[in-house]
């Protein structure tokens, strides 16, 4: 494959060309002002008009300045690969990208489409030498020995029997602190319903492949999980049920201090709100309630820990009378407890109701800055600490 996507474009235009005797699809993205073909290293001046305008409307936490790492269509999950001088970026679709920052200045010089045959390339994780992809129906890995930043080799099949349902079928993945196991969130294939098998769980499998173990259950749809850098405990977000009202159920930030925990779904639609379908049923076993909650329909997704706090991306509501969310929040901790949340990056929802961005994932970059993916604006934002 020779598909290359520069981080300066926004709309797809397909052209067919022959290269090395094979049909190659060259994808270029169009700016709002017209066709913009850029052939040199990326700089701040190369950003599309739309991204430049969006950036000017966003407000970050004091002590940070906002920059742009790359423009990538439908950018979602992020996996930073320092040894490869770049970042893997998944999407809620067939495409997987690699954004290369060769000179380490925090701006991707090139963005390459390295895979386009996934059902849902949302769940990705990286450790030196290996890329893991949790697709809708299976989990695979790629040996990155000799990776040129443009083409993945053949996948190694790690597990093939994930529930093959598109509803909540976009996975999220993270590696255990020792790098021995891959943790994958498996959503429930519905709004609120009773689940079976691996549905509504977080599973783990050996990074070499094998049968999964259920680490946590009773989870509606987690699209963000990470391990605490000090305690090695698993923390994850969970989205509450829809169509129960503007203000219920509150959405969750959970801690899984040990395997085997049950987190309430579907008997709880989210937090302590009972699901109407099952509110007359007794719940077998103990339910673990969230450590912290967000407003209903805020859709908390990716998260990372930062100086003892948690940075959480709120993707934003889609079925609330007055839209809410659309920001990145800093959840402050005191004595190991989440106590309050303050804005880290805002402005994605304008006062007139216009949505100009929807944050998805949050990851630390190699230089100490923080990357934030945005699948609405198709951008990887970069929050750079002063100094």
Residues 294-333: tens digit of each pLDDT = 999 999 999 999 999 999 999 999 999 999 999 999 999 9
For residues 91 and 73, the answer to whether their CB atoms sit within 8 Å is yes
For residues 78-94, give the mean pLDDT.
98
CB-neighbour burial class of residue 352 (10 A; exposed 0-12, middle 13-18, buried 19+):
exposed
Taking the model in full, what pTM does it have?
0.89
pLDDT of residue 154: 96
- All structural domains of the chain with their residue ranges: 43-385
Helix H or strand E segment including 110:
strand 110-115
For residues 283-294, give the mean pLDDT.
95
Q: Which residues pair with 110 in a beta bridge?
A: 100
pLDDT of residue 269: 98
Helix H or strand E segment including 51:
helix 49-57
For residues 124 and 175, the answer to whether their CB atoms sit within 8 Å is no
Max mean pLDDT among 1-15, 30-44, 167-181 falls in 167-181
Scanning the structure block, which residue is given the tokens 């990851």? 363
Structural tokens at position 153: 């080799």
- In CATH terms, is domain 43-385 a member of 3.30.70.20? no
Structural tokens at position 91: 């999407």
pLDDT of residue 284: 80
For residues 216 and 202, the answer to whether their CB atoms sit within 8 Å is yes
122 pLDDT band (50/70/90 cuts)? very high
31 pLDDT band (50/70/90 cuts)? very low
241 pLDDT band (50/70/90 cuts)? very high
Lowest average pLDDT, out of 6-20, 34-48, 58-72, goes to 6-20
56 pLDDT more than 80: yes
CA distance 363 to 311: 9
Q: What are phi and psi of 82, to 5 degrees?
A: -60, -40
Structural tokens at position 167: 């509803």
For residues 261-274, give the mean pLDDT.
98
CA distance 267 to 293: 18
Helix H or strand E segment including 57:
helix 49-57
Assign 45 to helix, strand or coil. Answer: helix
Structural tokens at position 353: 């109701």
């Amino acid at each position: 494959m020779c598909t290359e996507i520069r981080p300066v474009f926004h709309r797809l235009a397909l052209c067919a060309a022959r290269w090395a005797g094979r049909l190659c699809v060259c994808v270029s993205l169009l700016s709002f002002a017209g066709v913009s073909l850029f052939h040199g290293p990326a700089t701040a001046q190369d950003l599309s008009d739309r991204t430049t305008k969006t950036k000017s409307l966003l407000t970050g936490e004091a002590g940070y300045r906002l920059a742009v790492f790359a423009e990538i269509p439908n950018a979602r999950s992020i996996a930073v690969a320092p040894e490869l001088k770049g970042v893997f970026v998944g999407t809620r679709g067939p495409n997987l990208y690699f954004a290369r920052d060769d000179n380490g200045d925090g701006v991707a010089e090139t963005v390459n489409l390295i895979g386009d045959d996934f059902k849902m390339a949302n769940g990705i994780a990286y450790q030196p030498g290996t890329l893991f992809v949790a697709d809708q129906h299976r989990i695979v890995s790629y040996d990155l020995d000799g990776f040129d930043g443009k083409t993945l080799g053949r996948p190694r099949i790690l597990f093939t029997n994930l529930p093959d349902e598109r509803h909540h079928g976009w996975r999220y993945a993270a590696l255990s602190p020792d790098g021995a196991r891959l943790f994958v969130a498996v959503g429930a294939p519905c709004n609120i319903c009773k689940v079976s098998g691996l549905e509504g769980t977080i599973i783990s499998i050996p990074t070499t492949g094998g049968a999964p173990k259920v680490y946590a259950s009773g989870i509606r749809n987690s699209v963000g999980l990470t391990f605490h850098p000090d305690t090695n405990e698993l923390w994850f977000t969970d989205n509450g049920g829809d169509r129960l009202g503007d203000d219920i159920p509150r959405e969750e930030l959970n801690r899984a201090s040990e395997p085997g925990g049950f987190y309430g779904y579907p008997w709880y639609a989210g937090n302590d709100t009972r699901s109407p379908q099952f509110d007359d049923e007794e719940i077998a076993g103990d339910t673990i309630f969230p450590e912290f909650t967000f407003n209903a329909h805020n859709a908390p997704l990716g998260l990372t820990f930062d100086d003892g706090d948690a940075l959480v991306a709120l993707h934003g509501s889609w079925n609330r009378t007055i839209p809410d969310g659309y920001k990145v929040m800093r959840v402050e901790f005191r004595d190991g407890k989440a106590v309050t949340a303050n804005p880290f990056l805002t402005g994605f929802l304008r006062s007139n109701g216009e949505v100009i961005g929807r944050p998805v994932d949050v990851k630390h970059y190699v230089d100490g800055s923080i990357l934030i993916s945005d699948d609405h604006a198709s951008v990887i934002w970069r929050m750079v600490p002063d100094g």
